[in-house]
Chains A and B, each alone.
Chain A
Amino acid sequence: MTGFGVLRGMGITLRQFIGTYRFGKWFLKLIGLDEGSGITTVAYPEVKQKHAENFRYFPFLVYDESPEDMRCVACKICEQECPPQCIHITMEKDEKGAPTKKFGRTYPAQFDIDVSICMSCRICVDVCPFDAIEMDNDYEVADYGRGPEMNFNRDKLLKSAEYFGKIKPTEHAEVEARLEPKRAKAKAAAAAAAAKAAEAAKPAEDKPADEDPSDAGSDKGDAS
């Protein structure tokens, strides 16, 4: 009948209105009505929305034990592949121009991601052969400028593998599974190298690698 559509529309808005209050919800349930969607927005700084595990924001660099011990070897593949070209890497080199090594591998002296340009496409993560870069889900990076403030440097980007395991357990498990054989191989290689070194009775150049076999492995992987 004419006019009833109007009343029904008003009924819907009233029901949604009542359903946003605790008592209202209870009352609607009592009289057997659908209780509406309730409040769907959150009071942001106090309450935060839960996001899905795969939610991604900006990339970060992964380190295993200490920030010194980063997985990245400064191979610049990600720099090449990044569509908006927002990654800038310089490899650490000595005066002669030969790459210096720490934990038996090369490492970036400078690793900048301009997050005001980054479009969160995850390509850098996909192309990295060392699983050295991963997507973060920290979205609270607002600042007062868009120059140096938004250009995240190496120290700001470095986060532990543990943190990665916390924010994305599934992906972390996958990465670990992928890295495990590599690490085992590296360990064996390092042991062999150590044995050889002991045989040659050379000065203990490989000692640090002994202490941390996994790094020596990455070094090998890098070379191959």
Chain B
Amino acid sequence: MIDQAFVNLNSTLLGALPEVLRPWAAGLVKIGVIAGLAPLIMMYLTWFERKVIARMQNRLGPDRVGIYGLKQPLADGLKMLMKEDIVPEGADKLMHTLAPLVALIPALLLFLVLPFGRNMAPLDLNIGVLYTLAVGSIGSYAVFMGGWASRSKFPVMGAMRTVAQIVSYEIPGALAVITVIMVTGTMSLVSIVEAQSQWWFVLTPWGFIGAIIFFLSGVAEVNRTPFDMPEAESELVGGFHTEYSGMKFALWYMAEFLESFAVCALTVTLFLGGWQGPAIPFWVLAAVLVIIMAMAKRLPIVAKVMGIGALVALSVVSFGEAIPSWLWFFTKTYSLMFVMVWFRGTFPRLRVDQLMGFAWKFLLPLTLVNIVIAGIWVAMPSVVGVLLDVVIALVSLVVLVKLNQPASLEKRTYTFAE
């Protein structure tokens, strides 16, 4: 019941309308939900990122505004809205204004084909995979537009790095997806999720490699640490958005966070089973949440009572039902977001040559090998095939690592120093 709650609500509402209006209303509801959900997701991603990274650095993170700093994103948004909007002298005004929008709209469009839950894809495009790859790469135009229009050297340098980076990482990313298309024989994201009802693709040899490559190229495409060359603070001030301020700057950030979310969601959809999950009864999850809520020190009593009451009521109403599919989807996506933040908390930035080398010399050959592996998987669905896959994967991995080892220079001997 909770699984299909939103779907049922939607169809009930639409059913109440006259026949003529229904298709229009259906479209509007979808647009409204995406347009409303996206800023919310983005705002709480910033909160999530700041909290997690603070904990990794043994700090508390934002905790001044609201309980656990939960109102911090609102405060930030308000601050951004009130800031002065500066356009540098000599900048191309139109392009400068247009660029953040061009970045944001594709990021929003990506949400169109994501299956958020069972029967919950806003649109089941039969070329969904192609669509996401195409729309996702529009972002690089926006970055270059913004950088070029700023008429300042740091943004231009940042923008050029971005284009180089996105173009390089799109190739392994796209080639990693090809394996999924090969095995499932479809490009619709909904069908791809349904094909994973037995096994999540990440549990197969080709899916495992593919998932890692796709996720890493995704991280690189949305310019997050350790691949954040385009906005390397220590070198380029702020990269392509150096000359942006106020709400336009916030739009850049929004686009970036939405793209990160979309990358995580796509990885989940393509490799991690999408909204599918083991059939754990909902009340187990509710019980865990109730315990956590009861133990939380700083939650006010009212919130505690209301939250616990709502959870208990929900689990009574839906007794015997599994955890809803959309919850699985969001849990998995946010876990991948955690991994992204985890990367940021751990790794220093790569050098430009390392970055490019990683894409062209390591990921690209590995994806090509991975396509062969997937081919064997389809052609020989037996133990022999699996073993062959594993052997090929391991051998190619070892060879690639060996080939990528930086040339070790001769050890210098100092004749006079000793």
Contacts and interface: CB of A to CB of B under 8 A. Distances in A.
A98 interface: no
Contacts of B56: 13-14, 16-17
B55 A43 contact: no
A39 B58 contact: yes
Contacts of A3: 401
Nearest to B343: A10
Interface string A1-18: 011001001101110110
A41 B342 contact: no
Contact of B58 (A2, A10, A38): A38
A40 interface: yes
Interface in A1-60: 2-3, 6, 9-10, 12-14, 16-17, 20-21, 36-41, 43
A3 B405 CA distance: 12
B59 interface: yes
B401 A40 contact: no
A39 B59 contact: yes
Interface string B50-71: 0010011111100100000000
A130 B345 CA distance: 55
Interface residues of B, number: 15
A36 B401 contact: no
Contacts of B416: none
A17 B60 contact: no
Contacts of B60: 39, 41, 43
A20 B58 contact: yes
B342 A10 contact: yes
Given A3-B401, A17-B52, A41 B346 contact: no
A2 B401 contact: yes
A14 B342 contact: yes
Nearest to A2: B401
A10 B346 contact: yes
Contact of B59 (A14, A36, A41): A41
Contacts of A43: 60, 63
B347 interface: yes
A51 B63 CA distance: 23
A51 B405 CA distance: 50
Nearest to B59: A41
A16 B401 contact: no
Nearest to B292: A23
Contacts of A20: 55, 58
Which of A20, A21, A36, A40 is packed against the most chain B CB atoms within 10 Å? A20
A5 B63 CA distance: 33
A43 B60 CA distance: 8
Contacts of A41: 58-60
Interface of B: 52, 55-60, 63, 342-343, 345-347, 401, 405
Closest 5 CB pairs of A and B: A13-B346, A40-B58, A20-B55, A17-B56, A13-B56
12 contacts: A2-B401, A9-B346, A9-B347, A13-B56, A16-B55, A17-B345, A20-B55, A20-B58, A39-B59, A39-B60, A41-B58, A41-B59
